[in-house]
Structure 1
Amino acid sequence: MVNYKTWMKEVNDDTSIGKLSIPGTHNSAACHTALPSVQCQGESVTDQLKHGVRFLDIRCGKLFLKEGDEAKDLQVIHGKFPVKIPFPEKLTDVLEEVYDFVGDNDSETVIVSLKQEGTDDWNNDDDEFANCIWDRYINKNKDKWYLENNIPRLQDARGKVILFRRFGLKNQDKENSFGFDAHTWKYNTTNDDRGTFAVQDFCELEDASAIEKKVDYVADFAKNAIEYNSSNSDPKLFVNFGSGANFFNTECWPEKVAIKMSDGHIDKHFGKGNGVIVLDYVERDDWKLVKKLIDHNF
């Protein structure tokens, strides 16, 4: 029986991260009291990791009502809204949860996707956001991160946090030592292949009927990942978002999408080499989809 807390311990050292079937969470730290359209998870980041989640999607931005350096003590954001009210959820605290987990479980690795959201007043022509992330969060904890711009083998990333960088970088001197470059893909895409990674992120749901379409896109992309990984040796990371929303339609809020995803039998399309499948409310049905995805690694 798989120990989901340390499931990577049973995977061969030489295995490429891209060849695994990895459960992930969308807006992973959006698990607190917030607007119901903002909350995406029912359990903490720590609990997600203990149950086998190994990809975390974290969006962050400046502190509201603060200025200058004080505003750069970043909070976790979902779109334009804080994921925790009335007090902000700090990026520092979320990353400490991840550091504590890999520190206690050095057979594991966690992919952390970092993206800028919230206010748009960053001067990114001068890499302001990138420099903030580097100076305040990564450089002082550099020994805890895997920062090469590639898909590592498991043995190279055990006990570390893999940076999946969803922000741009003008400074090309840092390009190969500032994480896996995933700073752009087509918005609302059903399949965008960028060479080293491919993404399904169809997220604009007009109404509840569009959720069925979303389930189909997740299933098709999961099959694409298996087909690629079973016939190619070149590493490629498939990132398959099971999330979608419509802020103005309560039937398309994250929990409703998660129910359809769990009940839509996407697990029939799980297999060895699915890549990352990113879900809302992963604790649903006793972590059913997380467990089933992990099981296919064995």
Structure 2
Amino acid sequence: MADLTIRNLTATPLELEIVERFDGKPTSGGEHRIKGKVSGVFKRSNVAQHARIKGESRDRRELSIPLGRFETRSTDVQAPEPGREVVRLTFEFDGHKYQVDVPGESRRSLVMKKLDGGPHEYTVVYVTNGACVSIYSSTHLSSWMKELRDEWPLTALSIPGTHNSPTCHVALPSVRCQAASIREQLDNGVRFFDVRVQVNSDDKKSDLILVHSAFPISLTGTKYFHDMLDDIYSFLDANPSETLIMSIKREGTGKGTDQQLSKWWTDPRIPRLGEARGRIVLFRRHANDDSLNAEYGGRGYGLDCSSWPDNCEDAPTGGPGLARVQDFYEMDQSHNIGKKIELARAHLERAAERVCAAHPSPGDEHKPFFVNFLSASNFFNANCWPEKIAAKVNPAIIEYMALRHGEAGKGPHGLPVGDGSAGVVVTDWVGLDGDWDLIRCIVGWNARLQLKE
């Protein structure tokens, strides 16, 4: 077996002090049902094979391996044999001890046990492939922005998002993209929302219909934009530290125009976090009404992404420095999912290379959003419907972020690392059966900004 690599992806130094080894036996449960449903994709992704401790410790070793903030260390600790062994790791920080068993009893992330009431919370992702233990700072996902300084531009943040965000209802398999409601997504850390609306020429703003392409998002009744906004406003009232970005695009069969959608206003510049707290930032994929183009000194309203690149691998959109987009979505064969994964990894690498300043000098304000869609589909191929693609892509991205993201030269193109941001990562089918690990991995990278304070 390989030796363990440990990545401390937190803003606190840690020290590995004790390693204990136990016999283990494989466990099964809810994951078994999901695994069968998606043809064993989680096993292929090499996210940890789970096991349960059997009996007493058969080996105990005391040692001292310091792990600096955002430091990766190779160790001489042998990785557990998959399905047969469990290794218990005890870490220390500031006089307090924290403990975790790898692998755990399920494939999901692990929360370190506080042995003496320590003040910190840590989450662990164990990846069998690479024998890697990645440690993240646990955060309250409903208010994770509270920990970040007001001065950071939103482009500096690692922001989890969802594709066709409100499509969690009973619908055609090719239409549904999400497992959880908008409010559940907000409570679990999602902050970028991709929304498609149908506009009819005689509709008022409150009558905008939520759609996915030409299809309604629910087979049990029409869903409206204004109802979704009520849920969002309620969340922001309860969590004023948070902001969210909403991408709005006109789709559907309505005969309205882009101009009828532009009544929702906002400043057309990229804000700092402090300016945007408690607000929705409009990421506009529709044209403004002519009457609005003279506003803000002729800059119009909203962040203008109306000229969206189609099926792109890495393309600019919007005004100077606004966004670079990976949105390759056309799947003609299921094997193209491998290409999608590589394109998503490459865009994560580009986002990680960028350096943002909390107090940018003139001319340095326009660091772009890196918007990285993990979604894709093919209406005519059931193997390429959103749920099936997410079942392969999401675990692969968790694995990449735990093993390689933020490591200089370890990405697809061997790029250097700047701030280590993940950019805006837009996902399908997160939150299925309460599994928010991908969101936790994205949010966790914001801790790196604390090193620059």
Query: Shared topology, TM-score over 0.5?
Result: yes
Q: Secondary structure, in 3 states, of the residue corresponding to 1:238?
A: strand
Aligned equivalent of 1:279: 427
Structure 2 Cα separation of the partners of residues 199 and 246 of structure 1: 20
Aligned equivalent of 2:249: 115
Structure 2 Cα separation of the partners of residues 250 and 119 of structure 1: 24
C-alpha change, 1:184 and 1:120, in structure 2 (3 Å) is farther
1:155 to 262, 266, 274: 274
2:394 to 246, 262, 265: 262
Alignment of 1:74-113 (within 5 A): 74-113=208-247
Q: Secondary structure, in 3 states, of the residue corresponding to 1:49?
A: helix
Aligned equivalent of 1:211: 337
Aligned equivalent of 1:144: none
Q: Secondary structure, in 3 states, of the residue corresponding to 2:207?
A: coil
1:173 to 290, 294, 318: 294
C-alpha change, 1:41 and 1:58, in structure 2 (3 Å) is same
> Deviations along 1:203-258, whole A, 9 cap, x unmatched?
10111101110011000001001112369764211111000000000100011111
> What is the Cα deviation at residue 62 of structure 1?
3.6
Structure 1 Cα separation of the partners of residues 379 and 143 of structure 2: 36
Structure 1 Cα separation of the partners of residues 380 and 283 of structure 2: 30
Structure 1 Cα separation of the partners of residues 288 and 372 of structure 2: 24
Aligned equivalent of 1:183: 306
Give the residue type in structure 2 aligned to 1:73: D
Alignment of 1:6-85 (within 5 A): 6-62=143-199, 68-69=202-203, 73-85=207-219
Q: Secondary structure, in 3 states, of the residue corresponding to 2:355?
A: helix
Aligned equivalent of 2:350: 224
Structure 1 Cα separation of the partners of residues 228 and 400 of structure 2: 29
> What is the Cα deviation at residue 170 of structure 1?
5.0
Structure 1 Cα separation of the partners of residues 281 and 365 of structure 2: 21
> What is the Cα deviation at residue 69 of structure 1?
3.1
> Deviations along 1:98-157, whole A, 9 cap, x unmatched?
111111100000111111000262345xx2333xxx1xxx36xxxxxxx11121110000
Verify the 8 A CA contact 2:260 2:289 in the aligned structure 1: no
Give the residue type in structure 1 aligned to 2:287: G
C-alpha change, 1:223 and 1:7, in structure 2 (3 Å) is same
Give the residue type in structure 2 aligned to 1:80: A
Q: Which has the higher contact order (CA 8 A, sep 6+)?
A: 1
Structure 2 Cα separation of the partners of residues 93 and 73 of structure 1: 10
TM-score by length of 1: 0.88
> Deviations along 1:73-115, whole A, 9 cap, x unmatched?
1111001100012311100011111111111100000111111
Structure 1 Cα separation of the partners of residues 243 and 322 of structure 2: 19
Work out whether 1:5 is the aligned partner of 2:107: no
Verify the 8 A CA contact 1:270 1:296 in the aligned structure 2: no
> What is the Cα deviation at residue 270 of structure 1?
4.3
Structure 2 Cα separation of the partners of residues 248 and 41 of structure 1: 19
Give the residue type in structure 1 aligned to 2:322: T
- Give the superposed CA RMSD: 2.1
Structure 2 Cα separation of the partners of residues 156 and 62 of structure 1: 30
> Deviations along 1:145-191, whole A, 9 cap, x unmatched?
xx111211100000111111110125222464521111122200000
C-alpha change, 1:256 and 1:27, in structure 2 (3 Å) is same
2:440 to 286, 291, 295: 291
Verify the 8 A CA contact 1:200 1:221 in the aligned structure 2: yes
Structure 1 Cα separation of the partners of residues 443 and 342 of structure 2: 21
Q: What runs of 5+ residues in structure 2 fail to find an aligned partner?
A: 1-120, 122-138, 358-363, 407-419, 448-453
Give the residue type in structure 2 aligned to 1:103: D
Structure 1 Cα separation of the partners of residues 302 and 257 of structure 2: 21
Q: Which has the higher strand share?
A: 2
Q: Percent sequence identity over matched residues? A: 37
Work out whether 1:235 is the aligned partner of 2:367: yes
Structure 2 Cα separation of the partners of residues 211 and 276 of structure 1: 20
Structure 2 Cα separation of the partners of residues 297 and 69 of structure 1: 41
Structure 1 Cα separation of the partners of residues 183 and 244 of structure 2: 12
**Which deviates further from its counterpart, 115-124 or 150-159?**
115-124
Q: How many pairs are equivalent?
A: 280
Verify the 8 A CA contact 2:209 2:224 in the aligned structure 1: yes
